[in-house]
Chains A and B, each alone.
Chain A
């Protein structure tokens, strides 16, 4: 407890504290300047903190996983064919045609239009890389048996959501964005499929921005 020094109590705001015995002498110019200096130091240190984070945050160049991958339109697989693998980017590129839309195994909750999607290669259960099993026409994870359709919807196994996607943009020859991935599920989940409009030249896939799949916990897929 502070010892009151017998200084005359101030009226007003300080008065209330005073009645409790807390000493509140008037603010002198010197004291105020010190507080100002301390604030400037705090601002400076905050700046240093910001610079430290900016300094230490890893940066990903184009073509490095974590950065942006640019893929030409010609590299997109045909609709309803096998997914195409991009190992350096850690993603599968799938082209969903009418067969995929009308697949009887597809859980009804997750609707989509024909188009392309980019799926993160890592299984959403515990992180293994799932495989495309042609004979079963689905993705299967070797670690705990999670199974997903080409459309990224989970149809079995211990995973609890659909496969994650990377944000993708379709760009034309001047670099303008013609269309890009939007969320179709509340909570910014389950990215939309993209169609390829006329004039599209390339896809820009940002492996630094990932969108989670929609929740999917029913035994055969669905919520």
Chain B
């Protein structure tokens, strides 16, 4: 009988000790979880941005002819908000813009289309928490934008776009190799497997650096390139305009034009031309 009493006593004392230890650990745990779910908001926002916002605002927030850049420094250092006379916080500005869109063009811009509404309160497809997730993602550009790491200028000139005749700067082979093998993941389909045409010389055809010249002479060529180099550029930015026999359309991502800058394209071209 005494063992029961002693056991019960120790159980309660143990419970008190555990309570005290937990109380000591709670503030740090709450901090950590707050940080954790704010980070998850950014992740969710990134996914929504990728599917909904990128076509107009660019893959790295760099802007396109359809929408302004979102990773620019003047957005995060307060200049832009002062210029337009917004008296609230940047988060509120972004929330309100994403939620209700832009029924009228911003003064001083001439984008061809209006930004649609996104929040379900205004008939859009996103829940309120999804709008907040996108805002968290955009705000995450602040750190790099203000310090100037990300491109802060944005004109459509900088991105490659789909103009295969545009003049390219001097290209760097090593940079092109990094782009192809790491950053853009081209090698995943073009050298490591046979999903896309191989860049190496194969089947009686020369390497990709020279192959373009042969392709544009073929009867079934449906693209616009007039030189081997232009053929290569066209393959990157206008993926569906000509599909080599034996391969399928719509497999290669068709947004590289918005993802690479002119310099990137030049570097890639330089690297591709090393395949002979």
Residue of A nearest to B15 (CB): A44
- Bound state CA distance, A54 and B16, in angstroms? 15
Distance, CA A102 to CA B20, complexed state (A): 55
Determine if B37 is an interface residue (Cβ-Cβ < 8 Å): no
- CB neighbors of B among A7-64 (8 A): 29-30, 33-34, 36-37, 40-41, 43-44, 47-48, 51, 54
Q: Which of B6, B12, B13, B19 contacts A33 (CB under 8 A)?
A: B6
Given contacts A37-B9, A40-B9, A43-B12, contact A51 B2 (CB under 8 A): no
A44 to B23, CA, bound (A): 14
| A30, A43, A47, A54, most chain B CB atoms within 10 A | A47
CB neighbors of A among B1-30 (8 A) = 1-2, 5-6, 8-9, 12-13, 15-16, 19-20, 23
Q: Are B2 and A30 in contact (CB under 8 A)?
A: yes
Among A36, A51, A54, the residue within 8 A (CB) of B9 is: A36
CB pair A29 B15 closer than 8 Å? no
Decide if A51 touches B19 in the complex (CB within 8 Å): yes
Chain B: number of interface residues, binned into ranges: 10 to 19
Q: Using Cβ atoms and an 8 Å threshold, which residues of chain A touch B1?
A: 30
Closest CB-CB distance, B88 to chain A, in whole Å?
Answer: 10
Q: Which of B125-180 contact A (CB under 8 A)?
A: none
Q: How far is the CB of A74 from chain B (nearest CB, A)?
A: 11
Count A-B pairs with CB separation below 8 Å.
Answer: 39
CB-CB < 8 A to B2: which residues of A? 29-30, 33
Contacts of B13 in A (CB 8 A): 40, 43-44
C-alpha spacing A192/B15, complex, angstroms: 47
A34 contacts B15, C-beta separation under 8 Å: no
Q: Mark A138-178, 1 if CB is under 8 A from B, else 0.
A: 00000000000000000000000000000000000000000
Q: How far is the CA of A64 from the CA of B2 in the complex (A)?
A: 54
- Do A54 and B15 touch across chains, with their CB atoms under 8 A apart? no
Q: How far is the CB of A221 from chain B (nearest CB, A)?
A: 35
Would you call B23 and A40 a contact (CB within 8 A)?
Answer: no
The closest CB in chain B to the CB of A31 belongs to B5
- Are the CB atoms of A30 and B16 closer together than 8 Å? no
Q: Which residues of B sit under 8 angstroms from A48, Cβ to Cβ?
A: 19
Asked whether A30 lies within 8 Å of B23 as measured between CB atoms, the reply is: no
For residue A218, give the distance in angstroms from its CB to the closest CB of chain B.
Answer: 40
Residues of B within 8 A of A54 (CB): 23
A24 to B15 CA separation, bound complex (whole angstroms): 33
Q: List which B194-230 residues lie within 8 A (CB) of chain A.
A: none
Tell me, rounded to whole Å, the shortest Cβ–Cβ distance linking B41 to chain A: 15
Shortest Cβ distance from A71 into chain B, in angstroms?
13
Closest chain-B Cβ to A222's Cβ sits at a distance in Å of 39
The residue on B at minimum CB distance from A41 is B12
Whether A51 and B16, one on each chain, are in contact in the complex, defined by CB atoms closer than 8 angstroms, is: no
Q: CB distance B15 to A37 under 8 Å?
A: no
Q: Which residues does chain B contribute within 8 Å of A41, judged by CB atoms?
A: 8, 12
| Interface contact A40-B19, CB-CB below 8 Å | no
A37 to B13, CA, bound (A): 9
A33 and B5 contact, CB distance less than 8 A: yes
- A44-B11 Cα distance, complex, nearest whole Å: 10
**What's the Cα separation between A215 and B105 when bound, in Å?**
56
Q: How far is the CA of A51 from the CA of B19 in the complex (A)?
A: 8
Distance in Å from the Cβ of A55 to the closest Cβ of chain B?
A: 10
How far apart sit A30 and B6, CA to CA, in the bound complex (Å)?
10
Partner of A34, one of B5, B12, B20, B23: B5
Residue contact B6 to A40, C-beta cutoff 8 Å? no
Q: Are A33 and B23 in contact (CB under 8 A)?
A: no
Cβ distance A15 to chain B, nearest Cβ, rounded Å: 29
Contacts of B20 in A (CB 8 A): 47
Instruction: Give the residue among B1, B12, B23 with the most A Cβ atoms within 10 A.
Output: B12
Distance in angstroms from A194 CB to nearest chain B CB is: 26
B5 touches A40 (CB 8 A): no
By Cβ-Cβ distance, the 9 closest A-B pairs, closest first, are A40-B12, A44-B12, A37-B9, A33-B5, A47-B19, A40-B9, A37-B8, A40-B13, A41-B12
29 contacts between A and B (CB under 8 A): A29-B2, A30-B1, A30-B2, A33-B2, A33-B5, A33-B6, A34-B5, A36-B5, A36-B9, A37-B6, A37-B9, A40-B9, A40-B12, A40-B16, A41-B8, A41-B12, A43-B12, A43-B13, A43-B16, A44-B12, A44-B15, A44-B16, A44-B19, A47-B15, A47-B16, A47-B19, A47-B20, A51-B19, A51-B23
Contacts A40-B13, A47-B20 aside, 11 further interface pairs with beta carbons under 8 A come to A33-B6, A37-B6, A40-B8, A40-B16, A41-B8, A44-B12, A44-B13, A47-B15, A51-B19, A51-B23, A54-B23
